[in-house]
A and B are shown apart, each in its own frame.
Chain A
Amino acid sequence: MNLTLRVWRQPSASAEGRLVTYEVTDVSPDMSFLEMLDVLNERLILAGEEPIAFDHDCREGICGACGMVINGVPHGPQKATTTCQLHMRHFSDGDTITIEPWRSQAFPVIKDLVVDRSAFDRIIAAGGYISAPTGSAPEAHSIPVPKANADAAFEAAACIGCGACVAACPNGSAMLFTAAKVTHLGLLPQGQPERYTRVVDMVAAHDAEGFGGCTNTGECAAACPKGIPLETISRLNRDYLQATLRRH
């Protein structure tokens, strides 16, 4: 199939950017979205032009590196699917596709579709850890975990830190990401010692990075490729309010 792409091109962080139109021909429906961009980039390189910069690594939906806003939706039209796992069969011959980087004050554009997501690293550094003695791994059954908690913690642990939640949020909030980390650690016995300082520290880091506040609109959960539920944010709020209203 043949497609028209409108791609955000921005040579560097400080340069002005703009949407540039490209025609891509002979796209196979079995290609992934990134492979389709690879084809375009090869053509650009042969023509002596600068290829489109985009982030990618695993290309199997687990690393969180890829991510672009496709026709206004982070990771494109397919629910619970990363850009690298999105296939061209979800588009039709003759479509015009607009591709933009994540838009957030806290995620400055480095080049074209690549943004700097180190703000997430700083939120993690503020509390996304547990303290445990090192040494050989303990026996797996030595600390019992209720099944419901294990399931909810696992669901939250599926977050790959891609940033689609921020890109989708009308407030530019990173609360779904922060809540996923708080929930993942705060539900397990190993995460209990820092449970209440963690949530306060991670929210403080979130706010310090300039992310917006959550208004429970739910755009984040709709865009999340890992299906982190909106309810996770409610759990963060619960822990946060408990941490600040009571002494722990």
Chain B
Amino acid sequence: MVGAIFGSTVGKKAIMATTGVILLLYLIAHMLGNLRIFFGEESINRYAVWLREIAEPLLGYGGLVWVIRVVLTLSVVLHIVTATQLARRARQARPVRYATRPKVQGSYAARTMRWGGVIIALFVTYHVLDLTVGWLNPDFEHGEVYDNIVVDFQHWYVALAYTAAVVVVGVHIRHGVASALRSLGVTTARGERVVNVAAIVFATALVVGFLSVPFSVFFGLVG
């Protein structure tokens, strides 16, 4: 069974889809958590503490956060390893390119999955160093979630970088959701339209939710 999953193109796509869905569920939770900033400094800082208090008797303070980090890291690694293997395989499968080849069908999102993924990986690294560890944020203070965000997004270039990255994530997810449902065999003939519309609605909601924070800070609505 393990061979049939890890060793075949169909199995590798199932891994990409499953890990993609895990990352996506995380993104939804993350986006909703960020919206706490609109309820004030107290609300979002308290939320960060509360996250670390969940299951404290069992895992200790911050234990659950570490469990989530491990799951996310494993998912990202599996997602990128299988994506890279499939991308190399695809290149070998078409050694001679066409002299002319117009874009016929594939959406912009579908065509930019590979480079989009690389950009997202670079962004996630920067993001963690910026707002989790704080190395790239000169005014960073641990536990001061609200202040860290406000100080960050008052710089136009930081707000711009986050905006660009979130849009790239949205595009990646727009194809990703529809593709994952096909890779996992969920999509049926009748579901085809529903899946495509749902993917667009879903990606848009996520992008708007994430972008509301840097925009509100930059235009002075928060902070």
Residues of A whose CB lies within 8 Å of any CB of B are 6, 19, 69, 71-73, 98, 100, 103-106, 152, 168, 170-173, 175, 200, 203-204, 206-207, 210-219, 221-223, 229-231, 233-245
Write out the residue numbers on chain B whose beta carbons fall within 8 Å of the beta carbon of A105. Answer: 92-95
> Nearest 7 CB-CB pairs, A to B?
A238-B185, A172-B93, A213-B9, A171-B90, A212-B93, A222-B105, A237-B185
Q: In the assembly, what is the distance between CA of A227 and CA of B14, in Å?
A: 25
Instruction: Report if A214-B13 is in contact (Cβ < 8 Å); known contacts: A105-B94, A172-B93, A223-B104.
Output: yes
Instruction: Report if A245-B1 is in contact (Cβ < 8 Å); known contacts: A69-B98, A72-B101, A218-B105.
Output: yes
Q: Write the nearest CB–CB distance from B36 to chain A, whole angstroms.
A: 35
Total cross-chain contacts (CB, 8 A): 153
Instruction: Report if A173-B106 is in contact (Cβ < 8 Å); known contacts: A233-B182, A234-B188.
Output: no
B-side interface residues, number (CB < 8 Å):
44
Instruction: Report if A217-B105 is in contact (Cβ < 8 Å); known contacts: A203-B10, A212-B9, A237-B183.
Output: yes
Q: Write the nearest CB–CB distance from A229 to chain B, whole angstroms.
A: 7
Q: Please determine whether A172 and B90 come into contact, CB atoms closer than 8 angstroms.
A: yes
Instruction: Report if A241-B106 is in contact (Cβ < 8 Å); known contacts: A106-B93, A212-B86, A214-B9.
Output: no
Q: Write the nearest CB–CB distance from A68 to chain B, whole angstroms.
A: 11
Q: Please determine whether B92 and A210 come into contact, CB atoms closer than 8 angstroms.
A: yes
Write out the residue numbers on chain B whose beta carbons fall within 8 Å of the beta carbon of A229. Answer: 189, 192
Instruction: Report if A100-B99 is in contact (Cβ < 8 Å); known contacts: A233-B182, A244-B4.
Output: yes
Write out the residue numbers on chain B whose beta carbons fall within 8 Å of the beta carbon of A207. Answer: 7-9
Cβ-closest chain B residue relative to A200: B4
B149 within 8 A of A: no
B44 within 8 A of A: no
Q: Please determine whether B8 and A203 come into contact, CB atoms closer than 8 angstroms.
A: yes
Write out the residue numbers on chain B whose beta carbons fall within 8 Å of the beta carbon of A200. Answer: 4
Cβ-closest chain A residue relative to B5: A244
Q: Write the nearest CB–CB distance from B102 to chain A, whole angstroms.
A: 5
- Considering the complex, which residues of chain B in the window 105-128 have a beta carbon less than 8 Å from any beta carbon of chain A? 105-106, 110-111, 113
Write out the residue numbers on chain B whose beta carbons fall within 8 Å of the beta carbon of A168. Answer: 104-105
Write out the residue numbers on chain B whose beta carbons fall within 8 Å of the beta carbon of A170. Answer: 90, 94, 106, 111
Q: Please determine whether B4 and A104 come into contact, CB atoms closer than 8 angstroms.
A: no
Q: In the assembly, what is the distance between CA of A132 and CA of B5, in Å?
A: 30
| Proximity string of chain B (77-104) to chain A, C-beta cutoff 8 Å, 1 when within and 0 when not | 0000000001001101111111111101
Residue of B89, B102, B105, B182 near A71 (CB, 8 A) is: B102
Write out the residue numbers on chain A whose beta carbons fall within 8 Å of the beta carbon of B92. Answer: 105, 210, 212
Q: Please determine whether A216 and B89 come into contact, CB atoms closer than 8 angstroms.
A: no
Q: Please determine whether A213 and B89 come into contact, CB atoms closer than 8 angstroms.
A: yes
B137 within 8 A of A: no
Q: Please determine whether B110 and A215 come into contact, CB atoms closer than 8 angstroms.
A: yes
B209 within 8 A of A: no
Q: Please determine whether A216 and B182 come into contact, CB atoms closer than 8 angstroms.
A: yes
Q: In the assembly, what is the distance between CA of A210 and CA of B93, in Å?
A: 6
Q: Please determine whether A217 and B106 come into contact, CB atoms closer than 8 angstroms.
A: yes
B163 within 8 A of A: no
| Proximity string of chain B (164-187) to chain A, C-beta cutoff 8 Å, 1 when within and 0 when not | 000000000001001101111111
